[in-house]
Structure formats: C-alpha cells, structure tokens
Amino acid sequence: MAAPQPQRKVTKVAEIRRGDTVVVLTGKDAGKRGKVERVVRDPQGLKKTRTKYGSRLDRMSPLVTTAVVVEGINISKRHTKPRQSANTTDRTPKITQGGILDLAQPLSLSKVMVVCSHCDKPTRIAHRTLDNGRRVRVCRHCGEQLEVKS
C-alpha cells in the first residue's frame, strides 16, 4: 500500500495589482477611487503579526497581512526636521530640508475593491482560461477582461 501524498500548500496571490483602479469600501475615505501605487506584503512585520494571531497565523490566509497603497487616499502627515548629512560632497546638500510631507499609508486588501474599466462598477474578480492556456482576470458583472493601466 502506497503512502498518501501530502497536499501541496497553494500560496494565495493578491488579486489587486499595481495600476488597478480601486474604490475604498470603509473608513474616512470610503467611496473614493484611486490607482494602486504598490502592493505591500506583510506591512506590520511578521513578528507583530505573530504576536497578534499566535499559532492561528498558520491557519489563516497569507492575504491577511497584505495591503495596498493607493495614491491620494489614506494620507498622513510626516513632520521632518532639517538634518545635516554625514557624508557631504559637492553634489549633495549639507542639510536636508525639513517640512511637512504628505504620505499615502497602506490600506488592507479587505477595505478596497477593484473597479472594472469597462462597466465602471466595483467588482469581485473571476478567472477565465484563454485558448492559449493563459489565465486572466475578468469582471463578474460584464465578463470583460480586466486591464492593468500602469
């Protein structure tokens, strides 16, 4: 009798990609639309996530710790002091300028939803296999292929 094969663990991939247009579902920016600048995996760091979820983390989806940065949404202010550079040359300034910076902070994947470029509706993502064997993301409302505008 042959030993049973262990099941392969499938790593989940975020269905939201850089360049997608998304709408924010909850929070202070609910209803606003923006373009995804980047996808951040494990924004809090594995140590903090392990502390929060403990041994349950192994049973949870890896998408729990994935977030997206959307331009113009979830903006925070960062106050910086003018500081002197340690290694100064003729080309780099001796003092970096201080001031108030506006930074877009990451949002959890569960708080955003992709907007279809054809029907202009927020949608969940379905998959379809093309004739050449490639899998593509499609809109659940109109069935059109989702295009990434980089």
Task: Tell me the C-alpha distance between 46 and 27, whole Å.
Answer: 25
Phi, psi of 24 (to 5 degrees): -85, 130
pLDDT band at 59 (very low <50, low <70, confident <90, very high): low
Range of lowest pLDDT (14-28, 45-59, 85-99, 115-129): 45-59
**pLDDT in the model for residue 44:** 57
**pLDDT in the model for residue 147:** 78
Phi, psi of 70 (to 5 degrees): -110, 130
| DSSP 8-state symbol, 2 | P
Question: What is the percent of the chain where pLDDT is above 90?
Answer: 37
Residue 105 reports pLDDT greater than 80: yes
pTM over 0.95: no
Q: Give the CA-trace dihedral at 110, 29, 113, 41, to 10 degrees.
A: -50
Q: What is the mean pLDDT of residues 7-34?
A: 82
